[in-house]
């Protein structure tokens, strides 16, 4: 009887430990900082919302992280020669989840492989956007850019070569930050909030919320492009169920404002492929991005 009790107790303890295991956490060697100095207490535990019904991407599952109430930034240092450039990555997920591996860690691994410092933003979800529905995600993005600039010397980053890269809802967040950097949406909490949160460039990958389908794909008036909006690189496919007009409308707004912009539209590929290679030509977009970054002098030119 005693042996049976011990066995049942051990089993219950094991189940409890599994239940308490985080849905996702950065690898131990990746420096991670809380975004805000005073974490929110009492929130729901973060969970992976992926189910057996969710489709695989390039034969692999996706971690769909949700119930994020305490955002963080995780640093991926450059491999090999440091270019001095940095990119803050915003995973997508309709402001309900974060595709934290597909559109986060995998992207940062690639960026670091080409000499770019990558900072992965785990921003607040669910129901944190699109702005102005909730200011939370945009507040997190503004704060993250300021923190990266505040750490520029420590992380060996050029503070004038810090960009953003977002996917889907994260692409909308990148565009929102590109057009909402003049004033913080929150009261300053430290010196990082005194620094500019304007990105020096923006990468917009299969965006949503930039064209309003209920208004015949009119531009989203909350994304007000000016000549101060940073140079941008846009990728989407014609068969994207989120609608290619999100890219074309934003491209025209940038072009009309005199902002340097490069757009790549592909015939097929759908939505939510990240950097995972498939048979579709669209999945070669990272190579086009690397070329563009060299073209706009964010990365050094390749010597011939």
The per-residue pLDDT for 303 is 64
**Average pLDDT for the chain:** 92
The per-residue pLDDT for 57 is 93
Does position 174 have pLDDT exceeding 50, yes or no? yes
Mean pLDDT confidence for 250-255: 98
Q: Cα–Cα distances in Å, from 120 out to 10, 41, 60, 202?
A: 37, 23, 21, 15
The per-residue pLDDT for 56 is 93
Least Cα distance to 273 among 66, 56, 87 occurs for 56
Cα-Cα-Cα-Cα dihedral of 142, 147, 153, 159, to 10°?
0
Greatest CA separation for the chain: 79
pLDDT tens-digit series, residues 186-222: 999 999 999 999 999 999 999 999 999 889 999 999 9
The per-residue pLDDT for 304 is 55
Q: Cα–Cα distances in Å, from 54 out to 64, 84, 156, 206?
A: 10, 38, 40, 19
Contact 282, 202 (CB under 8 A): no
Q: 2-6, 101-105, 149-153, 213-217 — which is least confidently predicted?
A: 2-6
The architecture of the domain spanning 31-295 is 3-Layer(aba) Sandwich (3.40)
Tokens, residue 2: 């005693």
Cis peptide before 113 (omega within 30 of 0): no
Q: 49-53, 158-162, 239-243 — which is least confidently predicted?
A: 49-53
Predicted confidence band at 7 (pLDDT cuts at 50, 70, 90)?
A: very low
pLDDT tens-digit series, residues 106-138: 999 999 999 999 999 999 999 898 999 999 999
The per-residue pLDDT for 11 is 39
pLDDT tens-digit series, residues 17-40: 344 568 999 998 999 999 999 888
Mean pLDDT confidence for 280-303: 94
The domain spans of the chain are 31-295
The per-residue pLDDT for 5 is 38
Q: Cα–Cα distances in Å, from 47 out to 57, 222, 247?
A: 20, 31, 31
Residue 121: strand pairing partners: 73
Rounded Cα–Cα distance for residues 165 and 91 (Å): 8
Does position 9 have pLDDT exceeding 90, yes or no? no
Predicted confidence band at 264 (pLDDT cuts at 50, 70, 90)?
A: very high
The per-residue pLDDT for 83 is 97
Buried b (16+ CB within 10 A) or exposed e, 84-110: bbbbbbbbbbbbebbbbbbbbbbbbeb
């Amino acid at each position: 009887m005693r042996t049976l009790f011990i066995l049942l107790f051990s089993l219950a303890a094991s189940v409890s430990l599994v239940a308490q295991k985080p849905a996702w956490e950065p690898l131990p060697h990746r420096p991670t900082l809380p975004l805000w100095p005073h974490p929110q207490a009492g929130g729901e535990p973060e969970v992976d919302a992926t189910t057996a019904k969710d489709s695989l991407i390039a034969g692999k599952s996706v971690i769909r992280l949700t119930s994020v109430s305490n955002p963080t930034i995780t640093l991926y240092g450059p491999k090999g020669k440091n270019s001095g450039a940095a990119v803050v990555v915003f995973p997508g997920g309709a402001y309900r989840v974060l595709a934290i591996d597909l559109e986060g860690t995998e992207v940062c691994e690639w960026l670091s492989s080409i000499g770019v410092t990558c900072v992965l933003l785990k921003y607040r979800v669910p129901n944190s956007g699109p702005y102005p529905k909730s200011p939370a995600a945009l507040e997190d993005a503004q704060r993250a850019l300021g923190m990266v600039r505040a750490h520029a010397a420590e992380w060996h980053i050029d503070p004038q070569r810090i960009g953003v890269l977002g996917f889907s809802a994260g692409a909308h967040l990148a565009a929102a930050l590109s057009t909402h950097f003049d004033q913080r949406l929150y009261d300053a909490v430290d010196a990082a909030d005194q620094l500019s949160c304007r990105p020096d460039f923006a990468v917009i990958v299969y965006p949503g919320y930039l064209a309003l389908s209920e208004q015949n794909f009119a531009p989203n008036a909350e994304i007000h492009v000016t000549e101060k909006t940073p140079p941008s690189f846009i990728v989407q496919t014609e068969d994207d169920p989120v609608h290619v007009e999100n890219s074309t409308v934003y491209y025209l707004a940038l072009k009309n404002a005199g902002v340097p912009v490069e757009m790549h539209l592909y015939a097929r590929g759908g939505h939510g492929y990240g950097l995972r290679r498939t048979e579709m030509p669209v999945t070669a977009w990272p190579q086009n991005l690397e070329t563009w970054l060299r073209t706009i002098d964010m990365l050094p030119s390749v010597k011939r």
